[in-house]
A and B are shown apart, each in its own frame.
Chain A
Amino acid sequence: MTSSLAKAAGRTAAKRRSGSWEPFTVVSVIGVALFMLVCLIPFWVIVSGSFTDEQTLAGKGYSLIPQPFSTAAYKLIFTGPTLVSAYVASIVITVAGTVLALSITSGLSWVIARRLPYVSRPLAIFAYIPMLFSGGLVPLYLLVTQYLKLQNSYFAVILPLLVAPFLVFIQVSAFRQLPEEILDSARVDGAGELQIFFRIGLPLSKPILAVVGLFYAVHYWNEWFTALLFMSDIHKYPLPLLLQNLISNVSFSQMLPTAAAQSTPVYQLRLALTVVTIGPILLAYPFAQRYFVKGITLGATKG
């Protein structure tokens, strides 16, 4: 009786919710719409500017409509050897980094998640301590440059970020949710522990692998700090570092084909390169977004 009353109340509540527009709802819609605009406008100004003729850009500044329309900067980007090599560098770093990082993180997380006596807990603490205390910049710099001698190698960008403890803990909690019965039945069938990991654990965990892999991929794609530290050969710069060089107005005529060097559309080029840097993330975003939301929600409740 009471429950059916509650249900009826719930129904009217739902009705009222979709029917009337209270002031607070209106305020919320406006507030969110404004914030959306604030988020979008910088992107739009950049895209628009990247298609605007250089002289207009230098004379009148940026505008919301690209006029006169020009694709000069994009033509330069895809003919200039350094710009193409930066793209290649970013792709190599992102793909190799993500594959390596995801494999190594999965291996560690699986061992922690299996709760092996004398192994799992010490391992978890071992992986957790670097979140609390780090050696900082100088020892890392000395390690990479003096001992590992990785300057100007893509590995200098890939290796220092290989395992993110935060993602280890997300993955551990996901692995722990796999039903133990499935693993046990595999053991009864005579599967070894490694076989169980590769044949059952990983295939059943595809969603969490996607979450963790995407976090690593975005991280590597955007990474420029380690590149800034360890890369000095401009032909090996990943995209963000090349962009950063354009901001600080380092001479970049050397990146361009010689014929074009005299009338380089500097400002337009900077914007076009920005668009090219965001592009892949923007393209992947609609498919990847729900995984990120999932990862953050998991991380917020577990880490």
Chain B
Amino acid sequence: MSTRTSVRSSLWLGLLAVPAVAFFLVFSYAPMAGLVVAFKEFDISKGLFGSPWNGLDNFRYFFASGDAQRILVNTIVLNVLFLAATLAAGVTLAIMLNELRGRFFKRAAQSTIFFPYFVSPVVVAIMLQVLLSGPAGDGGVVNDALAGFGLPTVSWYTEPGPWPWILTFVKIWQLGGYMSVIFLAAITSIPEDVYEAGQIDGASRAQMALRITLPLLKPTAAVLLVLGVGRIFYGDFGTIYAIVGDNGTLFPTTDVIDTYVFRSLRQIGDFGTTAAIGLFQSVVGFVLVSTAVLIQRRYSKETSLL
């Protein structure tokens, strides 16, 4: 094959990537340029380029508003809770699933606990309403149970206190099965003779799980942890907004950057300040994600992306 035909054929081949390149240019790269709005006093009638510059005013306004501290703290606290809880749940479930015998039960169990991952956040929000508030606003399955044990019922949707834990529980429900799939794959790749050696030495199943399986899951957990920490500045908008919505009573513990940005865009229409928060989030997020990816690549060559 001559070089000329190969160049021509690779040109043809390049055509296949054109739609995707166009997509990235319009929906990923153009919005990056659009971030200049963070430095402008945006006026929709003047458009993006006609609006006057206002320097760092938008940033000052956000950090002086008093909301900044609350949503930053919430974002980090909630994400740390979510990450720790889902990793722990994933490891525990994977080790337990690995103990199961009987192919049918094992498969049924895996299918069941994996399913919540595919459920829309809106559906999750409705389920939570069923559990916590009942149709008429008071009651719900949980309160019925509390009353059954003679305990006082709680008006969940007006109490901000327990919500970080409720949301963490929701996350475990959504992602526990998903995480266990990853960890179970890691367990399957552990060579069988390690366990045989343990067995010859008279280890019990519990000892083998604790002393062999758990330590060997560390690299997988470390990779997931690092990537999770890298994304700590991005909340799960869908789940939190679907559940909390515009219920202001719960904001003190549940309002995160993403929900705040969404609300100030939709309700106040303050494009400049909203974009400033978005830019702040993107920049810090970028530093964290890149650091995370660099660390992850250093420690696990075969899991690197590019």
In the complex, what residue of chain B is closest to A18 when comparing beta carbons? Answer: B101
Query: What residues of B have a CB within 8 angstroms of the CB of A289 in the complex?
Result: 111, 114
Are A141 and B27 interface neighbours, CB within 8 A? no
Main secondary structure, interface of B, reads: helix
Q: Which listed segment binds A: B72-80, B158-166, B175-183, B248-256?
A: B175-183
Known: A29-B100, A58-B136, A240-B120. A141 touches B265 (CB 8 A): yes
A94 within 8 A of B: no
Known: A124-B306, A240-B122. A49 touches B130 (CB 8 A): yes
B23 within 8 A of A: yes
Are A285 and B120 interface neighbours, CB within 8 A? no
| Bound CA span A68–B176, Å | 35
B-side interface residues toward A, CB under 8 Å? 1, 9-10, 12-21, 23-24, 26-35, 37-38, 44, 47-48, 92-93, 95-97, 99-101, 108-116, 118-123, 125-127, 129-131, 134-136, 139-141, 144, 173, 176-178, 181-182, 185, 192-193, 195-196, 199-200, 204-206, 209, 220, 224, 237-238, 241-242, 245-246, 258, 261-262, 265, 271, 274-275, 278-279, 281-282, 285-286, 289-290, 293, 302-303, 305-306
Q: Which of A39, A135, A241, A300 contacts B115 (CB 8 A)?
A: A39
Query: What residues of B have a CB within 8 angstroms of the CB of A285 in the complex?
Result: 111, 115, 118
Query: What residues of A have a CB within 8 angstroms of the CB of B206 in the complex?
Result: 22-24
Are A24 and B209 interface neighbours, CB within 8 A? yes
Main secondary structure, interface of A, reads: helix
Are A10 and B141 interface neighbours, CB within 8 A? no
| Bound CA span A45–B127, Å | 8
| Bound CA span A268–B29, Å | 45
The total of Cβ contacts below 8 Å across the A-B interface reads 306
| Bound CA span A303–B289, Å | 13
Query: What residues of B have a CB within 8 angstroms of the CB of A10 in the complex?
Result: 192, 196
A-side interface residues toward B, CB under 8 Å? 6, 9-10, 13, 16-18, 22-25, 27-29, 31-33, 35-36, 38-40, 42-43, 45-46, 49, 57-58, 61-62, 103-108, 110-112, 114, 116, 119, 123-143, 146, 159-160, 162-163, 168-169, 187, 192-194, 197, 218, 221-222, 224-225, 240-241, 243-244, 247-248, 267, 270-271, 274, 277-278, 281-282, 285-286, 289, 292-293, 296-297, 300-303
Query: What residues of B have a CB within 8 angstroms of the CB of A141 in the complex?
Result: 265
| Bound CA span A221–B44, Å | 32
Are A296 and B178 interface neighbours, CB within 8 A? yes
In the complex, what residue of chain A is closest to B97 when comparing beta carbons? Answer: A32
Q: Which of B27, B181, B224, B261 contacts A143 (CB 8 A)?
A: B27
Query: What residues of B have a CB within 8 angstroms of the CB of A38 in the complex?
Result: 173
Known: A29-B99, A138-B274. A143 touches B30 (CB 8 A): yes
Are A42 and B131 interface neighbours, CB within 8 A? yes
Query: What residues of A have a CB within 8 angstroms of the CB of B302 in the complex?
Result: 301
Are A135 and B19 interface neighbours, CB within 8 A? no
| Bound CA span A267–B275, Å | 38
Query: What residues of A have a CB within 8 angstroms of the CB of B23 in the complex?
Result: 104, 159, 162-163
Known: A137-B265, A285-B111. A111 touches B176 (CB 8 A): no
